[in-house]
A and B are shown apart, each in its own frame.
Chain A
Amino acid sequence: NAGVTQTPKFRILKIGQSMTLQCTQDMNHNYMYWYRQDPGMGLKLIYYSVGAGITDKGEVPNGYNVSRSTTEDFPLRLELAAPSQTSVYFCASRRRDRGTRHGYTFGSGTRLTVV
């Protein structure tokens, strides 16, 4: 199993550009999440999805959009990139019942710099 796969791993954007961070999971998990991690901080929730066609905002959704057309994919779109969006982005997924051993599975992250 590949688990949660994120692409790209690194990206530099210019202010005002747009991009899509890709996230795919092959565990048939219903629930998927996007977090951002700023230096020296914990993770903050951007958006989440409880199933295909259903998305909802987290703590810090401004400047981002998501879609969930399939169970496997949960892309995160940045429109009009700003320096404040420089961060490491993690995608995560989990089973409906959260499980008892690991709970959430995280991808390897996308390190984004906006200059």
Chain B
Amino acid sequence: ELKVEQNPLFLSMQEGKNYTIYCNYSTTSDRLYWYRQDPGKSLESLFVLLSNGAVKQEGRLMASLDTKARLSTLHITAAVHDLSATYFCAVDSPASNDYKLSFGAGTTVTVRA
């Protein structure tokens, strides 16, 4: 069974500083997703990473994928309050007649002044 582990689970960030969230997964996958969830809201797609070495950036967020290490990172540059949210990584793996999307537990980010 595919396991997806995120760390840290809670991250208190200081505005202006850089931080990294890690996502490890246990079996081979062909793509990895990062989502953002604000309290009481749905999941917003941030990145889809399709191949080894993939790097995507949007604003202060940058995601990368190392399929050999089964590791993805979400790097936050110069944190600002608007980035306070819960971030999930999720991994697609082949299942019987479909793919199965398995989620990490999420990283709750709080950005303080």
Q: Say yes or no for A74: interface residue by CB 8 A criterion.
A: no
| Chain A residues close to B by CB (< 8 Å) | 31, 33, 40-45, 48, 50, 54, 56, 58, 90, 98-109, 111
User: Interface residue count for B (Cβ, 8 Å)?
Assistant: 23
Chain B nearest Cβ from A47, distance in angstroms: 11
Q: Say yes or no for B43: interface residue by CB 8 A criterion.
A: yes
> Hey, which chain A residues are within 8 Å of B31, CB to CB?
98, 103
On whether A103 and B43 interact (CB within 8 A), knowing A56-B98, A98-B31, A98-B99, the answer reads: no
Residue of A nearest to B96 (CB): A56
On whether A104 and B101 interact (CB within 8 A), knowing A41-B106, A56-B96, the answer reads: yes
| Chain B residues close to A by CB (< 8 Å) | 4, 31, 33, 40-43, 45, 48, 50, 88, 90, 92, 96-101, 103-106
Residue of B nearest to A107 (CB): B42
On whether A103 and B106 interact (CB within 8 A), knowing A33-B101, A109-B42, the answer reads: no
CB < 8 Å neighbour of B92 from A98, A107, A108: A98
> Hey, which chain A residues are within 8 Å of B43, CB to CB?
43, 90, 106
